[in-house]
Amino acid sequence: MAKRQSTRNGIATDSETKSVRTRARILDAAAHVLSVKGFAGTRLTDVAEYAEVQAPAIYYYFSSREELIEEVMFAGIGEMRRYLKDVIDGLPHDMSALDKILAAVEAHLRHELELSDYTTASIRNSGQIPEHLQTRQRKEEAAYGRLWRKLFEQALAEGLIDPELDIKTAQLLVMGGLNWAAEWFDPRRFSIDDVVRNAQILVRNGLLSHSSKR
CA distance 19 to 17: 5
Residue 192 lies in a domain: yes
* Cα of 163 vs its chain's centroid, Å: 29
Residue 17 lies in a domain: no
* Residues 19-60: tens digit of each pLDDT: 888 888 999 999 999 888 988 889 999 999 999 999 999 999
Residue 78 lies in a domain: yes
The domain in which residue 110 lies consists of 72-213
Cα dist from 209 to 109, 147, 205, whole Å? 24, 21, 9
Residue 90 lies in a domain: yes
Residue 18 lies in a domain: no
- CATH number of 105's domain: 1.10.357.10
Residue 11 lies in a domain: no
Q: Tell me if the pTM is above 0.75.
A: yes
Residue 114 lies in a domain: yes
* Number of domains, the chain: 1
Residue 142 lies in a domain: yes
* Concatenated DSSP letters of 80-143: HHHHHHHHHHTS-TTS-HHHHHHHHHHHHHHIIIII-HHHHHHHHHTTTS-GGG-HHHHHHHHH
Residues paired with 208 in a beta bridge = 161
Residues paired with 161 in a beta bridge = 208
User: What is the mean pLDDT of the segment spanning 111-132?
Assistant: 82
* Residues 91-117: tens digit of each pLDDT: 999 999 999 999 999 999 998 888 778
- Map residue 56 onto helix, strand or coil: helix
